Structure formats: C-alpha cells, structure tokens
Amino acid sequence: MNMGSLERQLMDSFKDMDTKEKEKEQKDAAQMITKEEAEHAQKINQRWSVKFNPKFKKKRKERSKIAKASRRKNR
C-alpha cells in the first residue's frame, strides 16, 4: 500500500468537502439576505399603508386645523 496515494486521496476528499461546505454557506447566506430583504419590504409596506390611509390624512388635517385655530386665538 502506497502512503503517498492514500494521503493524496484524503487531501482530495478534504478539498471536496471544503468546497461543498463553502457552497452551502454561500447559499445559506444568500437565502438569509433575501429573507431579510423580504421582511424589510413587508415592514415598509405596513408603515406606508398606515401612513397613507384615509384615517391618517383626516387626523392630520384636523390637527392642522386645530393648530391654526389656536394660533389665531393667541394673536
């Protein structure tokens, strides 16, 4: 049995395992990034739906009217 060929086989198998592990880590990282982007987009959509719905605009309009009235009163 030749020890050099056995070592070479072991080194080749370690290299293969290492490359497979690196590829798996890259895939996992890519999936995490896409998942985080999706969550971020969902949060933004929720904020925008709250901010730009009719109730929000109505409240804001009422507040500005009240503020204007109080400024007039304080003159």
Note the pLDDT tens digit of each residue in 7-65: 888 888 889 899 999 999 999 888 888 989 999 999 999 988 888 888 888 888 999 99
Helix (H, G, I), strand (E, B) or coil at 73: helix
Which residue has 């590829």 as its token pair? 23
Counted domains in the chain: 1
What is the structure's pLDDT at 49?
Answer: 85
11 φ, ψ (degrees, to nearest 5): -65, -40
Domain that holds residue 38: 3-74
